[in-house]
Amino acid sequence: MTARRYTPFDSLIAGLDQALHTVFGPPPEAGRANPADGEPETELDAVERAEAARLMRVNHSGEVAAQALYQGQALTARLDQVRDKMTEAAQEENDHLAWTEARVRELGGHLSYLNPAWYLGSFLIGAAAGAAGDRWSLGFVAETEHQVVAHLGKHLARLPAQDAKGRAILEQMRRDEARHATVALEAGAASLPEPVKRLMALTSKVMTRTAYWI
């Protein structure tokens, strides 16, 4: 039995379905166990719970954006092996999406009301990166993940010290993102121009600061 070959229209419909599930739910089902499951729920006061929920909301929004970036890049990737790497990374990002959403809910917080905007903007950026060529697309992945690793390190420093569940989630995410960057580099990622890196960092800062409150 031959494998079905998907047309560009099939890919577009699948992408729309993925977008709807990512932004509007229901909550995604993770492929791996939540790293927080083995950690005790510790007592947090009202201020600490609010801070932990806001930080996790920012990371959830980042995972919404990551889903969109990878979906956009997979849509416009030229080589099958690059498309497969984007799809595989998106599946791991889906785990992060599920874990961060669950933690936000546990803390009594809400998800960012601007998630549809984060998804749309990131999808367009990802599609443009993919259209620029596979080496540039992989370079975009590597730089994005390097910036995310640094961002997660800052959030780990800001997270209430006794929030063992949140810390377990962010530490696993940081390991995964570092591996995604390494895979992209090994696959032949191009080094992005410095102005592009600075623009990416600025865009990320706007999103994270906004998602912290909204």
The amino acid sitting at 210 is T
Q: Return the higher-pLDDT residue of 67 and 147.
A: 147
* Residues 67-102: tens digit of each pLDDT: 888 888 777 766 666 666 666 766 777 889 999 999
* pLDDT confidence of residue 131: 82
**pLDDT surpasses 60 at 53:** yes
**Domain 42-213 part of CATH 3.10.450.50:** no
pLDDT (0 to 100) of residue 140: 87
How many Å apart are CA 148 and CA 86, to the nearest integer? Answer: 16
pTM of the model: 0.85
Question: How large a percentage of the chain has pLDDT more than 70?
Answer: 80
